Structure 1
């Protein structure tokens, strides 16, 4: 074992110090938000709240969880994230699988068309008119269909599929598999890392996305939880905030403020992704690296 010299120890000390500072700057805003959500709103407005609640309370969470619109918005977001992730990954992977085949005629043309759409789009007004003509306004599917195909994810899928051994496909064809059987019975089971990685990226994007709902949906019953949170953040007073919430909100204990409810809503909206992330983290490096080794 090589013994480290003074210069190496100093380098390690500086490196770990910088990493600790970086970790603190990343974690502290989230921790401070959690502290404010667990503190009485009126006490929080006095300032000086940093690492621990001064007046611990669950009132902020009680107010949020008593809002019927919050649960409706959360249900819309969960349904959108689950169905949108499934459809987006499936459609994108099928397109990538087809473009990975050498025998596909015109695949270079399709790739060029797809890559062009990554850099050039029709714009907001043509998209607005197009979706209106399709009858997708105030429709749940307007939250899913416009972003169902991801060209970037398709390129990663395609690169991964091209790196699979050709013997897999040849042996499957000898057993009588067509392309659909080859994809679902052979390719899909061995593509777990890249599927898990891109599924999580897609799910996080769908969970956090609010723009399409803000433009194309006027029905408050179809708004995702991110738009619910945005409406809360834009509220300037407690009365205005409560007027946007459901009729079941408990307003007897007026210890909360718009700021405390905003921080609580941020925590509630963020926690599901944080809980899911550790279970799929192990696939990140393997999935992304495999999809980027060969073009």
Structure 2
């Protein structure tokens, strides 16, 4: 019995090599994030000299002060928070509602709808037709341009549908015996037992909404409606320090910040919120990713 628990030399060597390899991968993945953090908290002029890899050489908060004093950044942050929260709730509810209908075996024309939906996963009209459609729907310069075009995803529908089909039929039959209709079953039976897949789709779409800069860049010219990621895009697009100093004109930080330090600080400000949310949804995310897997 004791001999069975002992690892062979080959297994022990494999574990050592595997651990070293995973540590290298973790380092390669995490170090760029650490590098951005270190330089974001370092004096901008000092950082231009290079040589900062592990710790700030001249610690300062002036970079973040300059970012938050920039015109429009807080408005952009509120737009991002609003479109993320509203977009996630609307997307999850609407996609789940359609997926519940698709999960019914007796849906008339269900196979035909599945074929049409699958085609849309691989083929799209392109940017110009999309822009013309958004224009004709009067969504240009409209907050709802962040919500309506991505209200539904067929990929997410497949994930929802797969989960719904694994729910025991007895739950629905019992609800129907008690007089529940389709809406009652969906809202009071199906959704409450579907938290793993709901959290997974919410995480997927929440990350998309938070990181999306393209929609604000193409369809929105009004800066008061642009999200923080579009603001970050405009910050990164600035090529000279003088242009950045105009954005923070009147700030005492102009003596210690540079365009590069503001870029890094803005990246930290726009990235950390979604990073903090992920650990709270991770356990649901892992369960959701196992949907449709082979079960013994």
TM-score band by shorter chain is: over 0.9
Match for residue 132 of structure 1? 135
For 1:116 and 1:251, the matched residues in 2 are separated by 55
Structure 2: give runs of 5+ residues left out of the alignment: none
In angstroms, what is the RMSD of aligned CA positions? Answer: 1.4
| Structure 1 position 278 matched with structure 2 position 279 | yes
Match for residue 108 of structure 1? 111
| Structure 1 position 122 matched with structure 2 position 125 | yes
Task: Return the TM-score normalized by structure 2.
Answer: 0.95
| Structure 1 position 187 matched with structure 2 position 190 | yes
**In the superposition, relative to structure 1, how do residues 91 and 68 fare at CA in structure 2: closer, same or farther (>3 Å)?**
same
The total of aligned residue pairs comes to 292
Check conservation: 1:80, 1:143, Cα contact below 8 A.
Answer: yes
For 1:149 and 1:242, the matched residues in 2 are separated by 42
Match for residue 57 of structure 2? 54
Which of these residues, 79, 89, 93, is aligned with residue 90 of structure 1?
A: 93
| Structure 1 position 260 matched with structure 2 position 256 | no
Which of these residues, 199, 202, 219, is aligned with residue 199 of structure 1?
A: 202
SS state of the match for residue 54, structure 2?
coil
In the TM superposition, what is the alpha-carbon distance from 1:250 to its structure 2 partner?
A: 1.3
Which of these residues, 44, 57, 67, is aligned with residue 70 of structure 2?
A: 67
In the TM superposition, what is the alpha-carbon distance from 1:210 to its structure 2 partner?
A: 1.1
For 1:163 and 1:38, the matched residues in 2 are separated by 49
Match for residue 79 of structure 1? 82
Structure 1: give runs of 5+ residues left out of the alignment: none
Q: Please identify, of 127-136 and 38-47, the stretch whose mean Cα deviation from structure 2 is larger.
A: 127-136
Match for residue 214 of structure 2? 211
Match for residue 160 of structure 1? 163
Runs of 4+ in 1 over 2 A off after TM superposition: 290-294
In the TM superposition, what is the alpha-carbon distance from 1:155 to its structure 2 partner?
A: 0.3
| Structure 1 position 35 matched with structure 2 position 38 | yes
SS state of the match for residue 218, structure 1?
coil
- 1:195-225 CA-to-partner distances (Å, cap 9, x unmatched) read 0011011100111111111111111111110
For 1:188 and 1:139, the matched residues in 2 are separated by 31
Match for residue 288 of structure 1? 289
**In the superposition, relative to structure 1, how do residues 264 and 182 fare at CA in structure 2: closer, same or farther (>3 Å)?**
same
Which of these residues, 15, 18, 34, is aligned with residue 15 of structure 1?
A: 18
In the TM superposition, what is the alpha-carbon distance from 1:61 to its structure 2 partner?
A: 0.8
In the TM superposition, what is the alpha-carbon distance from 1:239 to its structure 2 partner?
A: 2.1
In the TM superposition, what is the alpha-carbon distance from 1:67 to its structure 2 partner?
A: 2.2
For 2:37 and 2:279, the matched residues in 1 are separated by 19
**In the superposition, relative to structure 1, how do residues 292 and 138 fare at CA in structure 2: closer, same or farther (>3 Å)?**
farther
- 1:87-133 CA-to-partner distances (Å, cap 9, x unmatched) read 11111000000011122111111111111111111221111111111
For 2:153 and 2:245, the matched residues in 1 are separated by 38
